Structure 1
Amino acid sequence: MPSSYYPYFRGKQFDLLALKEVLQAGLLSPAIQPIIEPVKNSKTFFATIAEFQKKHHPYRLIDNPQAGAFLTEKGYATLQDLAQGNSQAHIIDQPVTLADLVNYSASTLWIVKSFAALKETPVQALTGSFLVPQEFRLLQQIRESSFDHPLILSEDPFTRLGRNSYYREIPDELFSRRFKDFKKRGFSGFSDFSLDSRIYYEQGYPDRDLALHLVYLAAPQELRVHHFVSPADTEELGFNQKEKFLQLILQVQSWFSENNDQQTDTLGLKLLYQAAEQGHFPGMGVLRKAVIMHHLECMSRLLETKTEA
């Protein structure tokens, strides 16, 4: 099954753990080829890459990240050693020269961040695929330049708000229809930042409200995301994270039950339900991991069902 979905991760610890655990459980479809921009030089990062190699599952590792712990000569050398053959990816924010190409395979994924840099690159000498953002001017320029390489469309569909409480105003919204129409639009694949945004941030800020952003298939044509937010502070509840978490999970269970959604048995949701059954709050990192796991498994089921159909 050829890859068609390329979710983009910044290599944060709990994102990597989500990827590794879904992969270990055999729940990550071969149609999903994660792109990892490493920002942490950690055991989790190296263990995740090792798991992908062990399982022979396709992935892409960016050898020139734009932030984080690998922004040194030694760090770049380490990533170039890890990102070999079919796993190579490189961000084009500066022109690529012919001399540079000796370091890249014929199947490299080129991630376009600057059309000016792309224009100064000998594109016809490059092989592989190109990941391009959903920007009209950039796409128009590429189309008009007789560009004949495979294109993967990168979008940023998640609505990122400053506070979790703001999601009470938009509890449910469209996430993506791209899995349905990317081929009709002339792309060989599609990409997004999962339940995150294009803007990189090192860490989140403390928030009195807990939130879970869970995707679901609303119709054959679209994938939606429901924003679950814990109850607002009351004199009784205060800032009791455990109680807020338990009430949040009750919301999740009730909503999925009422909407008869079939994707309620994912590994990510089971992780949250188990913590609730045990009566403890698992921590913000585990909430993030569970949300990403749920998204990856839902996308795996969706893409495999679409292929079978």
Structure 2
Amino acid sequence: MYYPYLRGRQFELIALREYAQQRGDNNQIIPIIEPVKKTFNSLKLAIPRLIAGEVKFALILNPQVGEIEDSSHITESLSIELENKDNWIPTFIVTNNILAIRTAIHSNGYENVMLICSDMLDTSSEHFEALAKSDQVKYIVSNNRTLKRTLRGHNKFFIRIDDKFEAQKRNSDYLEIPEQKFTEEHLFFGEDGYQGFSDYTVLTSDFKEGGATPYAVSIHLTYQKANEEIWIRHFTSESNFGRENIQGKFAEAARKAVHFLDEENIENNASNELRDYYNQEKYPGLGMVKKITIKNHLELINSIL
């Protein structure tokens, strides 16, 4: 099972909404969502679509980045959407806040909880070990092999998480690295003793909000090689000397991407959407481009698994 880690921003959530509607009869994806906005309109739209599409999701109840200062606002604002606890997984990022997490779990009666182990967590702590071994906790998200050995035999689902996207300082830098290996976890996570694997899709794990109009447009698409490894291609504009004509920059990048998709006979909902924008000479905006790249990755992994 694949557990993509996404922030609760507009276009990440649109990608999840559309994936849930378009996935067909098969689903091997449980997204992990970290809310980052004080307003919950996008989540209020996304959660019912995920539920209707029978896509279970993990919702982080103590986000560590973004605008939310009081975590109780999440469950209060989404009380209707989260009413049926069978549809979602209560999730906590564990740093040095073990007592607060134990209190939240017990006071809300949460079951089948997911714990995401941060780099600041001392997994040898007896307090953390007691929390992780408790009957209420089912999922452990970490790449700590020592922890996996410690919890062996306690009926936990271990999910390996990695940061796979190698972000460049500038979009134009991707001109020098047209493609690179992205992951092979889908081939080996079971052999390595994990029940699932996680990454940040085609986004970086670093949280950045907003940003200026870029000098270059780059479209990042994952695909599978003949040896079954997943690689990522970067399709980047050429006229990168100023911030003007963003529509033209998109067209340059999209032309390269569509040529590759056609050459490799890659076809899914995301790739067809990109083709439509390019063929109709429409510029959808950079947010929609990000949505397409995320959805392409979700569709790829789901089809492989």
Identify the TM-score tier after normalising by the shorter chain. Answer: 0.7 to 0.9
Q: CA deviation at 1:104?
A: 4.7
Partner residue in 1 for 2:258: 253
5 Å-filtered alignment, 1:54-203, equals 54-72=52-70, 74-78=72-76, 81=79, 82=82, 84-85=85-86, 86-93=88-95, 94-96=97-99, 99-102=103-106, 103-113=108-118, 114-116=120-122, 119=125, 120-121=127-128, 122=130, 123-126=132-135, 127-132=137-142, 134=143, 138-144=144-150, 148=154, 149-203=156-210
Report the residue type matching 1:165 in the other structure. S
Q: Deviations over 1:178-226 (max 9, x none)?
A: 0000011111100000011221111234211100000000124300000
- Do 2:114 and 2:139's aligned partners in 1 also have CA atoms closer than 8 Å? yes
Which consecutive unaligned segments of at least 5 residues does structure 2 have? none
Number of residue pairs matched? 291
Query: Per-residue deviation at 1:145?
Result: 6.5
Shift, 1:80, TM fit? 7.8
Answering whether residue 28 of structure 2 is matched by residue 31 of structure 1, we say yes
Partner of 1:217: 224
Structure 1 residue 144: deviation in Å?
4.8
Distance in 1 between the 2:4 and 2:121 partners? 22
Residue type of the partner of 2:70?
T
SS in 2 for 1:242: helix
Q: Which residue of 2 aligns with 1:207?
A: 214
> Who is 1:18 aligned against?
15
* Pairing partner for 1:5 from 2, 21, 28: 2
Q: CA RMSD in A?
A: 2.4
Is the contact made by 1:154 and 1:190 (CA closer than 8 Å) also made in structure 2? yes
Percent pairwise identity: 26
How many angstroms does 1:31 deviate by?
0.9
3-state SS of 2:98 partner: coil
Instruction: Report if the CA contact (8 A) 2:214-2:243 is conserved.
Output: no
| Per-residue deviation, 1:51 | 1.2
Counterpart contact for 1:64–1:90, Cα < 8 Å:
yes
**CA 1:286–1:27: 2 relative to 1, 3 Å:** farther
Does structure 2 conserve the Cα–Cα contact (< 8 Å) formed by 1:90 and 1:111?
yes
What code does the residue aligned with 1:227 have?
A: H
**Could you tell me how far 1:238 is from its partner in structure 2?**
8.0
Aligned match for 1:279, one of 278, 281, 284: 281
- CA 1:176 to 1:104, structure 2 compared with 1: closer, same or farther past 3 Å? farther
CA distance in 2 between counterparts of 1:190 and 1:104 reads 27
Residue matched to 1:306: none
TM-score between the two structures when normalised by the length of structure 2: 0.86
1:169 to partner: Cα distance: 1.3
1:58: how far off? 1.2
Q: Is the 8 A contact 1:112 1:118 kept in 2?
A: no
* CA distance in structure 2 between the aligned counterparts of 1:169 and 1:118, rounded to whole angstroms: 43
Aligned-residue offset at 1:243: 2.1
Take 1:78 and 1:220, find their aligned partners in 2: how far apart are those partners? 47
- Structure 1 segments unaligned to the other structure (5+ residues): 304-309
TM-score (norm. length: structure 1): 0.85
1:160: Cα distance to partner?
Answer: 0.7
Partners of 1:142 and 1:185 lie apart in 2 by: 10
**Contact preservation (8 Å) 1:88, 1:104:** no
SS at match of 1:198: coil
- Please name the residue that 1:307 is paired with: none
Inter-partner Cα distance in structure 2 for 1:146 and 1:21: 37
**How far did residue 100 of structure 1 move?**
4.1
2: CA distance between counterparts of 1:220 and 1:194?
20
Select between 163-172 and 26-35 the one with higher mean Cα deviation: 26-35
- What per-residue deviation string (whole Å, max 9, x for no partner) do you get for residues 228-282 of structure 1? 1011347xx9832222222222211222334xx242x222222222222222211
Task: Report if aligned partners of 2:9, 2:42 keep a CA contact under 8 Å in 1.
Answer: no
SS in 2 for 1:219: coil
Deviation at 1:61, TM superposition (A): 0.8
